[in-house]
Amino acid sequence: MERPVVALVGARSRAERLLDKLSLSEKIGQLVLVDGADENVSQSLHRAVAEGRVGSVINEVDPLKVAKLQRIAREETAHGIPLLIGRDVIHGFKTIFPIPLGLAATWNEELVEACAKTSAEEAAHHGVNWTFAPMIDVSRDPRWGRIAESFGEDPYLTARMGTAMVRGFQNGTEDQLLSCLKHFAGYGASESGKDYDTTNIPEIELRNVYLPPFKACLDAGALTIMPSFSDLNGIPASGNAWLMRDLLRGEWCFAGFVVSDWCSIPQLAMHGVVENERDAALQAARAGVNMDMVGGSYATHLEALVENGILAPAVIDELVREVLTVKFEAGLFDSVPRPMRPTASPDQATSLALRAAQESLVLLKNNDGLLPFSADSGKVCLLGPLADQAYEQLGTWVFDADLSRSVSVKDAFAQRLGDRLSFDCVLKTSRDKSLAGLDQARQLARECDHVVLVLGEESILSGEAHCRADVGLPGAQASLVSEMSSLGKPVVVVVMAGRPLVISDVVREADAVVYAWHPGTMAGPAICNVLFGDADVRGRLPVSLPRAAGQIPIYYAHGHTGKPVTADTLVHIDDIAPGAPQTSIGNASFHLDVHPSPLFPFGFGLSYGRFLYKDLHLITAGAKGFEVAVNVANIGERAGSETVQLYTRDLVASATRPVRELKAHKHIRLDAGEHREVRFALTREDLKFFNGSEYVFEPGRFRVWVGADSTASLSLEVQLD
Ligand code: GLC
């Protein structure tokens, strides 16, 4: 992979000059990040900063306290080195946008960049100048709670969304945040979807699936990166010299710095790769972790390790030089911190949150064009444990939200429908197993023309350390759907969740299904606008939805295998004749008891229009790559948005290649009856892959598909020499 363009030459020379003036203790202070929310820390924090023993603070967002800390760092220390003030601004600060998995469902880079820019502005007005985002772990296991924070299963889409977020955070204004790429690397492959668990990833998969988003985001200018908690092929990432020295600094020429995850340095002893915390500090420093996030290991052990001749001073100098370089590059020395400035009116942020929430919604089913509701939709019965949950709809990783601006589905429906709305949560929480409220719900539903159920997961059921082995609807929610569907009224189900859930029964029983992830502050108005047609529905799945948990991991870019399943070889368990002889069935890659396809494939989403793809043809093919064109027509009765997707397969290569890989996408919006030619051009660079020893483009035959999702059938073959 090419070297990043971000070299930081000027900042590095300024850092060099400053470094020469620092004592060993002051140098180590720059490698220490403390938790400002920790009572035991905050009481002595001013003195620690004044003595140069702390260089960064996390979780202090009181602008006046931050301003005081920065003033002490700038005016009461020997060298006036500004502090980095970090906060997890994962999908919003005061205004909450959809969880990253929902942002990914927009497939809209401009929108994601705008959300990050707005988040940066809100956080910067509280003194924050660094955030631990974007999280760009490719995630293919819905059991893993942190899939909620990811951009889903695909490296290309993750890279597009991640670079958009980096641009939004590092936007060049005084309200920018340093971004931090995490969790380096392969964290999404944690065994059995349990957080922090082992990851065993062959280099060929690491380099073709998990690393590309990190490289793309570094090339987009990200200057800090965070290793994962997990061990990577037996060496924990926080002590993995191959990852942080050979690959990150050696091969990619990364010129920024690495911050550990929360106490991930002392955890090296828990992993069992070192005897104690002192050795953990030694291994992490030698492996290239610049900064210790609240572990206390560097503050406690580094000075003695150097003074006893165990750790070379040059190692400390390099770690500190990189931190100072980033502080210079980020302009911290040049900008005068200004205490709490008036934040721009929240109206703009709120309307952006509405747009993002609307574009994140994915329409999975819409029988007989039930949606959008017509204006005279009659009485609506709104039910479900997440219909009136202004907090739960925000999703995971929310600390600073302005809850007063969060509008629930019930609030939005009440505003639109007035007395044409009846509401009952029926279940107290998404985990409530009691059906005591069912009779009341049936009665309300019978008096209405439509039933809308808002179900899924409370926010605490996804996110860090919140993994589930059973990824169905929790509690009695599935029973509620069945009961409501048996009443003969049109039933719309809206699913709010931090992961792909197994909802096969729900999809079978409901007339329409919308997947909403956790849409954030404006969840209510967004869902209302889309269901009633005031906003288009345009979300596309960033992850495959499994039919059953036993299919996990299930993702579209899988291997072809030497025995792929076909219609001829596929057999269902119920169709096997009694006494079947041993070799009479199977001999292909599938499960006997569930269809091999996902319930809904990656890239899928219905629109209010109806799109027809035809006339896919080659424009050019040659030394540089190829260009194709396709005609897309809206043959529906309503205008609609479409995300046109292009996938390729390298048919014969020196290593097995996925059956399809997303390589490009474009949004179009067509009026009813309108059609348009859409073109895509790919270069040989776009078709490179790691073959086990090097990144190569290999001439040969490629199949190209263009369509509405990863199962597109319209394709052609290209020969590239
Ligand atoms: C957490 C997470 C990481 C987060 C950090 C600071 O444990 O793993 O993603 O940025 O600690 O909150």
Model pLDDT for residues 683-707, shown as the tens digit of each residue: 999 999 999 999 999 999 999 999 9
Which atom of ligand 1 has the smallest separation from the CA of 59?
Answer: 12
Distance 262 CA to ligand 1 centre (A): 6
Q: How far apart are CA 393 and CA 496, in angstroms?
A: 7
Atom number in ligand 1 closest to CA 149: 9
Closest ligand 1 atom, residue 180 Cα: 10
User: What's the pLDDT tens digit per position in 106-159?
Assistant: 999 999 999 999 999 999 999 999 999 999 999 999 999 999 999 999 999 999
Q: Are strands 675-683 and 130-131 parallel, antiparallel or unpaired?
A: unpaired
pLDDT at 3 over 70: no
Q: Which atom of ligand 1 is nearest to the CA of 183?
A: 9
| Residue ranges around ligand 1 (CB below 6 Å) | 88, 132, 182, 261-262, 464
Residue 459 scores a pLDDT above 70: yes
68 Cα to the center of ligand 1, angstroms = 25
pLDDT at 7: 60
* Phi (first) and psi of residue 613, to 5 degrees: -105, 135
The pLDDT assigned to 377 comes to 80
What is the whole-number distance in angstroms between the Cα of residue 134 and the centre of ligand 1?
12
Given ligand 1 and candidates 261, 264, 291, 294, which is best to mutate, with the most ligand atoms within 8 Å of its CB?
Answer: 261
Other Cβ atoms within 10 Å of 139 Cβ, number: 32
Q: Which residues are catalytic?
A: 261
Convert the pLDDT of each residue in 92-118 to its tens digit. 999 999 999 999 999 999 999 999 999
Distance of CA 206 to the CA centre of its chain: 18
Angle of the 155-169 helix axis to the 109-124 helix axis, nearest 10: 40
Q: Coil, strand or helix: which one is 421? A: strand
Q: For a pocket test of ligand 1, which of 87, 88, 146, 263 has the largest count of ligand atoms closer than 8 A to its C-beta?
A: 88
405, 455 contact by CB (below 8 A)? no
> Ligand 1 atom closest to Cα of 228?
8
CA-closest residue to ligand 1 atom 10: 132
> What is the atom index within ligand 1 of the atom nearest the CA of 229?
8
Cα 183 to averaged position of ligand 1 atoms, centre (Å): 9
Atom of ligand 1 nearest to the CA of 86: 6
3-state secondary structure of 534: coil
261-305 pLDDT, tens per residue? 999 999 999 999 999 999 999 999 999 999 999 999 999 999 999
> What confidence score (pLDDT) does residue 94 get?
97
CA of 324 to the centre of ligand 1 (A): 22
- For residue 501, the one-letter residue type is L
Residue closest by Cα to atom 7 of ligand 1: 262
**What is the structure's pLDDT at 339?**
62
How remote is the CA of residue 228 from the centroid of ligand 1, in Å? 9
In the reported structure, the alpha carbon of residue 48 is separated from the centroid of ligand 1 by a whole-number distance in angstroms of 23
Closest C-alpha to ligand 1, atom 6: 262
Please state the separation of Cα 186 from the chain's center in Å.
Answer: 14
Give the number of the atom of ligand 1 that is nearest the alpha carbon of residue 90: 10
Expressed in angstroms and rounded, the spacing between residue 261 Cα and the centre of ligand 1 is 6
Quote the tokens at residue 117: 């820019």
- Closest residue by CA, ligand 1 atom 11: 262
* Whether pLDDT at 337 is above 80: no
Rounded to the nearest whole angstrom, what is the distance from the C-alpha of residue 473 to the centroid of ligand 1?
Answer: 27
Given this model, what pLDDT does residue 345 score?
A: 76
pLDDT of 4: 44
144: its two tokens: 């893993």
With b for 16 or more beta-carbon neighbours within 10 A and e for fewer, the 247-278 pattern comes to: bbbeebebbbbbbbbbbbbbbbbebebbeebb
Quickly count: other Cβ atoms within 10 Å of residue 628's Cβ. Answer: 23
pLDDT tens for 6-37 read 568 899 999 999 999 999 999 999 999 999 99
Q: Whose CA is nearest to atom 3 of ligand 1?
A: 261
pLDDT band at 343 (very low <50, low <70, confident <90, very high): low
Distance 34 CA to ligand 1 centre (A): 13
Residue 340 is predicted with a pLDDT of: 63
Of all residues in the chain, the percent with pLDDT exceeding 70 is 98
> At CA 107, angle to CA 105 and CA 110, rounded to 5?
125
Residue nearest to atom 1 of ligand 1 (CA): 262
Confidence at residue 43, expressed as pLDDT on a 0 to 100 scale: 84
pLDDT for position 456: 98
pLDDT given at position 426: 98
Portion of the chain with pLDDT greater than 90, in percent: 95
Mutate to test the pocket of ligand 1, among 59, 61, 85, 132 (most ligand atoms within 8 A of CB): 132
CA distances from 597 to 424, 470, 643, 648 (A): 36, 19, 21, 19
In angstroms, the CA 388 to CA 454 distance is: 9
Average pLDDT, the chain: 96
Residues 6 or more apart whose Cβ sits within 8 Å of residue 574? none
Which of 262, 294, 398 to mutate to test ligand 1, by most ligand atoms within 8 A of the CB atom? 262
